[in-house]
Structure 1
Amino acid sequence: MKLKELLKDIKFSSNMNLSEIEDINIKDIAYNSMSAKVDYIFVAIVGETVDGHKYIDSAYENGARVFVVSKDMDLPKGSVKILVNDTRFVLSKMSSNLFGNPSKELKVIGITGTKGKTTTSNYIKAILEKAGFSAGIIGTNGVFYGEIKEESKNTTPESYELQRILRQMVVYGMKFVVMEVSSGGLKMNRVDHISFDLGIFTNISRDHIGPKEHPDFKDYLDSKVKLFKLAKHGIINKDDKHAGYIIDNAKSTIDTFSIYKKSDFKAVDIKLSQDIKHLGSSFICKTDNEKDSYKIASPGTFSIYNSLASIVTARYFEIDYGTIKNVLKDVNVSGRVELLPILDYASVVLDFAHNEVSLKNIIETLKEYKPNRLICLIGSVGNRSFLRRKEMGDIAARECDVCILTSDNPDYEDPMQIIDEMSESFRGSNCLLIKEADRKEAIKKGINILKKDDLLLLAGKGHETYQLIEGEKRYFNDKEVAINAAKELLKN
């Protein structure tokens, strides 16, 4: 591609005349100096901890001669400088230009919120496919389209990766893509040049606030709002106390859903299964013109909200009630309120709950089944705020009979230090506290102490198959460990 085509609709200045550089051939874009090659353009983006401007010499040594920068700096001899205001925004636009604006050839559904993104995206994908549409998915669990699966470092990949993936989805015949859109992805311009048909807001609570993410809650909320300035139409959870702010600041048309407040799509006559072995719920979705009954294979009000968002989305695309109903009654998402059938006398549930709100929701839901004892295994991610740890510890200390504190992606922090900080919540609590930094041993202890009609919640990892330790992802699977621990217990 010619440089002038790559820079289409981008404002920039250069150390060379436009006539001298516009016909330069560019093979590809690199935003990591290690990926730079001859005839590549290198974009110096500023990340959470790394400034790409410091790696220009490295990219030059690897063959790059055209550099996009936001600092008016000296470059190596023979370099072409493309000076812009924001290299992240420009990376997004150039990537869209490079791959031919693939989102315009797809129906793109973006989902943002503190919790519920993964479950809702999987529900929507299942409904679309049942209705006969080919659909890809991008999110926490990775990238999936057709028979292709890719790992993803972030819930919302970097803009270049997103545009590449979307082009591949078009090539593979996808008609829809359902995308989890994180607050970080929105703030860091990763989705700026994606044409969203729908934006969905599930909920928001204090999370991802810290020196490496959002400085305060307003920044977090405003990042979420950005999706509804990009999307043609928005679907909003009216029950969330910040829904009004999002609606007022949106540029899209809006539909709303709720359980409690008046909305366009409201769940009424909600009933929860009373049998822990058969998790589920039922409700009626009421609009001004319709009343349709649904059954879903997950318990709790949070599952109702996820289902409502999926129903509104499906109805927007004119998918019939029968198709939606048939999907929701059976659909499950790995690591989300997943019942592990490994013991006949007690229940073990796997869930991704890893912050205050999600942990509170899952614990309150499971307590409705009145277990003999509720045993909770939790940890807290390293390099995050003390408040996050305290909030999770407070909930477990208040609501559980037994709590096992263990490691959960400690990264460069000492797991025992995190555990000791969380244990402060248990002073004066009636909850029995067990400390075990080794997550494998902690799960085994949880399995081994189960008595008749007890319920063990393995929280924090869900679908994840790794532990982040000292910057390295090491294979670890809660489900495998629990299954093996149960087999060993029954064998002995």
Structure 2
Amino acid sequence: MTLAELFAPFGLKAPPLEVRGIALDSRRVEEGFVFVAVPGIPLPHRKPLDGHDFIPEALKRGAIAVVGERALALPVPYLRVRDAREALAHLSRRLHGEPDRRLALLGVTGSKGKSTTASLLHHLLQAGGGGAALLSTLGLRLGEEARPPLGHFTTPEAPEVYAFLREAADRGLKAGVLEVSSHALALKRVEGLTFRIGVFVSFYPDDHLDFHGTPEAYFGAKALLVERAELAVLNAALPHLERLRARPHLLFGPGGEVWGEGLREEAGGLRFTLHTPWGSGEAFLPMLGAYNLENALAASAAALAHGLPLEGVLEGLATFRGVPGRMEVVQKEPFRVVIDFAHTGKSLEAALKTLRATTRGRLLLVVGAAGERDPRRREDIGRVAARLADKAFFTEEDHRTEDLGGILQALAQAAEREGGTYELVPDRKEAIFRALAEAQEGDTVLLAGKGHEHTLERGTLALPWDEKAVALEALRALGHLGQGPGPGKGGL
């Protein structure tokens, strides 16, 4: 596409230069790119950056045009807009040929469970033979081809979203499952997309208040997904349900049209009777944790509404291989080692309670709290760790530019108020080694907070990180490497 064609809907005449890409990060600009100068987001812990300050760098790197919100005179075509983020999304969509028109999009949002639900929904669509793409925190999938995630965001920026959807459509895939965060909705990373189905899995009002400010604003951001969907698949326990039910909808959970009965937690997973408007059947999901029933109901409801038969959904549930970094067992014996992404008080509580039920010995925990996030999260994590783990090793978890010592002290103070036992080990690798060295037969060691992530953020650096690889290294070094979960297995 040429620059003239790209800018035509905005009324700006431009030369017919070939556009090779769009970027809002000046470091990613290449020859032939359009640079969009986005104002930064004010947060309590830091001054925001402003893309307008990086226009000179973008021009040096070869930007052929600039989009921004200020009145500027530049040596290249300049499109001034009211909202640069909104323009970024619409320009990205236009550059990539409106790929969403060729795909049935299913979006998944929620405070907890959205990654698991999105991955399970993608698996159900794939098992049903339709061919689907997946964009999530855990990574990308084009059919069965897996790729690493695009950066540290749950939902990447608009240029990456639309480029991925374009590739999925060009490959002939019929559907796309997108895990959509509240940040992505508020920051217009998915602006312009219309979802065939929007799934709202869960809502915890105390999440992400450092960004959204109030529970009402946080809920409103998530509600944008279902407001843009042809059909909303909603947890019957959501607050403000009357607001969401104004659209065509399908409810799941107790009191909904799709619900589970007779849940039985077995060593290999969950068994329950799945009831739906399309019929009922006995279901098995090879994942532990009663909370995963909610994720299974959400994914099943969306798949059925999309047109999959009940038999196909039941077969797909039974063949799901779990989610990397979500209650992933690294070793079973002589003591169990589990990796989970739990990084809030509520998610950590659910993980610890699930593991406690099947732990013969002590329950040891390695956990931290992220920097540049709501400080109240540290209080919650510290209290839960003290109450539910026999011993916690408090360590780093993406402290970013915040003082790690201050974060660890906040965790320790919360744990002390609960009378918990803990150690402060600033280096995460050392904390994992110490916890595994202390573990004995029958114990469970939970490594919480990082899960699937491939970076560890220290200061302004994003260092390579692989929690599973570090755990296996420690087990080998300590001579404890025992029986694992088996090749390729996820869950418990």
TM-score by length of 2: 0.89
Alpha carbons 1:401, 1:430 under 8 Å: kept: no
| Counterpart position of 2:155 | 156
Q: What is the SS of the residue equivalent to 1:226?
A: helix
For residue 121 of structure 1, what is the amino acid of its counterpart? A
Alignment of 1:10-159 (within 5 A): 10=10, 21=13, 24-28=16-20, 29-36=22-29, 40-48=33-41, 49-64=48-63, 66-71=65-70, 73-76=71-74, 78-146=75-143, 147=145, 149-153=147-151, 154-159=153-158
Greater displacement, 476-485 / 462-471: 476-485
Alpha carbons 1:142, 1:155 under 8 Å: kept: no
Shift of 1:325: 2.0
Shift of 1:477: 2.1
Alpha carbons 1:68, 1:81 under 8 Å: kept: yes
1:309 to 275, 281, 298: 298
- Evaluate the alpha carbon distance shift between residue 283 and residue 57 of structure 1 in structure 2; reply closer, same or farther with a 3 A threshold: same
Alpha carbons 1:8, 1:97 under 8 Å: kept: no
| Counterpart position of 2:473 | 484
Q: What is the SS of the residue equivalent to 2:209?
A: coil
| Counterpart position of 2:395 | 406
1:343-396 superposed Cα distances (whole Å, 9 cap, x missing partner)? x23222110000122112112222233543222211001122321100111111
For residue 174 of structure 1, what is the amino acid of its counterpart? L
| Counterpart position of 2:323 | 333
| Counterpart position of 2:186 | 187
Q: What is the SS of the residue equivalent to 1:204?
A: coil
For residue 120 of structure 1, what is the amino acid of its counterpart? T
Confirm or deny that 1:320 pairs with 2:319.
Answer: no
Q: What is the SS of the residue equivalent to 2:34?
A: strand
Confirm or deny that 1:207 pairs with 2:207.
Answer: yes
Shift of 1:315: 0.8
Q: Distance in 1 between matches of 2:339 and 2:148?
A: 23
| Counterpart position of 1:233 | 231
Q: What is the SS of the residue equivalent to 1:138?
A: strand
Shift of 1:217: 1.9
User: What are structure 1's unaligned runs of at least 5 residues?
Assistant: 13-17
| Counterpart position of 2:347 | 358
2:251 to 249, 256, 263: 256
Shift of 1:264: 1.0
TM-score by length of 1: 0.89
- Evaluate the alpha carbon distance shift between residue 8 and residue 243 of structure 1 in structure 2; reply closer, same or farther with a 3 A threshold: farther
Shift of 1:63: 4.4
- Evaluate the alpha carbon distance shift between residue 433 and residue 117 of structure 1 in structure 2; reply closer, same or farther with a 3 A threshold: same
| Percent of residue pairs identical | 28
Alignment size in residue pairs: 470
1:289-347 superposed Cα distances (whole Å, 9 cap, x missing partner)? 622111111122321011111111121122223322222224211111112225x2322
For residue 261 of structure 2, what is the amino acid of its counterpart? V
Q: What is the SS of the residue equivalent to 2:453?
A: coil
- Evaluate the alpha carbon distance shift between residue 242 and residue 402 of structure 1 in structure 2; reply closer, same or farther with a 3 A threshold: farther
Alpha carbons 2:325, 2:339 under 8 Å: kept: yes
1:78-126 superposed Cα distances (whole Å, 9 cap, x missing partner)? 4433222111111111111111100110111111111111111111111
Shift of 1:171: 1.6
Q: What is the SS of the residue equivalent to 2:245?
A: helix
